[in-house]
């Protein structure tokens, strides 16, 4: 049977609308579609992920078709099309990081959190995934956590354990 997921309606905060209004002003008249990527970042920062209803709202706001939002959101790797843990640990898995132990680190994170790549821990706090080069190869291994994309560099297993504990306490 076809399963149609009922998505909850979403509301954008007034602060988010103000931010969007400010972003749109950066582009020439009629080129408001340029605001799509930055606005999707703002929406994801507020809601945690991009639901269909959230994307439809963005389309209406920018006066473009919903498909124009979907095709962009699904192209770029930073946008989450399903809910994630509150803290998404994104570990760089590309060459230079692997030379200094990124793969071992990902195994450790999987073991420590008890969930596979892309899954969410039961308490809803954590997810993790491998991502491609984060342009911090000299400080490898590295991971980042959105929505502000704070960087954690020169990692080892102890540092990751500490980080996870700190995040739990927040």
Partner 1 sequence: MARKLLLEHINVPGINTLDVYRQKGGYRAVEKALKTLSPDEVVEEVKKSGLRGRGGAGFPTGMKWSFLAKPEGVSRYLVCNADESEPGTFKDRYLMTYIPHALIEGMIVSSFALGANTSYIYVRGEMMPQIRILEKAIAEAKNAGYLGKNILGTGYDLELYVQPGGGAYICGEETALLESLEGKRGNPRIKPPFPAIAGLYGCPTVVNNVESIAAVVPIINDGGEEYSKIGIGRSTGTKLISASGNLVKPGVYEIELGLPVEEFIYSDEYCGGIANGKRLKATVAGGSSVPILPANLTLKLANGDPRLMSYESLSEGGFATGTMLGSGGFIAFDEDQCIVRNTWNFSRFYHHESCGQCSPCREGTGWMEKVLHRLEYGHGKMSDIDLLVDVSKKIEGNTICPLGDAAAWPVASAIRHFRDEFEWHVKEPIKCLDTNYGLANYAEPIAKVEVTTGN
Among 17, 18, 26, 60, binds partner 1 (CB under 8 A): 26
Contact criterion met (CB below 8 Å) for 55 and 66: yes
User: What are the CB-based long-range contacts (under 8 Å, 24+) for 162-170?
Assistant: 164/112, 164/113, 164/126, 167/87, 167/125, 167/126, 168/125
Residue 156 sits in the site that holds partner 1 (CB under 8 A): no
Query: Cα–Cα distance between 90 and 104 in angstroms, integer?
Result: 14
Site stretch for partner 1 (CB under 8 A), options 4-12, 94-102, 117-125, 157-165: 94-102
**Residues in binding contact with partner 1, number by CB under 8 A:** 45
* Beta strands 87-92 and 126-131, pairing class: parallel
Strands (E) in 23-157, as ranges, are 87-92, 126-131, 143-145, 150-152
Residue 36 sits in the site that holds partner 1 (CB under 8 A): yes
Q: Which of residues 114 and 149 has its CB atom nearest to partner 1 in the complex?
A: 149
Residues 47-86 that bind partner 1 (CB under 8 A): 62, 64, 68, 71-72, 75-79
State the residues that interact with partner 1 by CB under 8 A. 26, 28, 31, 33-38, 40-41, 62, 64, 68, 71-72, 75-79, 93-96, 98-100, 131-140, 144, 146-151
């Amino acid at each position: 049977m076809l399963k149609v997921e009922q998505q909850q309606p979403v509301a954008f905060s007034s602060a988010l609308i103000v931010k969007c209004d400010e972003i749109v002003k950066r582009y020439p008249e009629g080129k408001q579609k340029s605001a799509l990527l930055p606005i999707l970042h703002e929406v994801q920062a507020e809601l945690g992920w991009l639901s269909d209803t959230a994307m439809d709202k963005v389309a209406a706001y920018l006066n473009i078709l919903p498909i124009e939002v979907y095709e962009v959101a699904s192209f770029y790797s930073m946008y989450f099309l399903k809910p994630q843990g509150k803290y998404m640990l994104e570990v760089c898995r590309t060459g230079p990081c692997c030379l200094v132990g990124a793969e071992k680190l990902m195994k450790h994170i999987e073991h420590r959190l008890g969930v596979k790549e892309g899954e969410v821990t039961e308490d809803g706090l954590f997810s993790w995934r491998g991502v491609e080069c984060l342009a911090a190869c000299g400080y490898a291994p590295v991971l980042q956590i959105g929505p502000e994309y704070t960087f954690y560099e020169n990692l080892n297993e102890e540092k990751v354990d500490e980080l996870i504990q700190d995040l739990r306490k927040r």
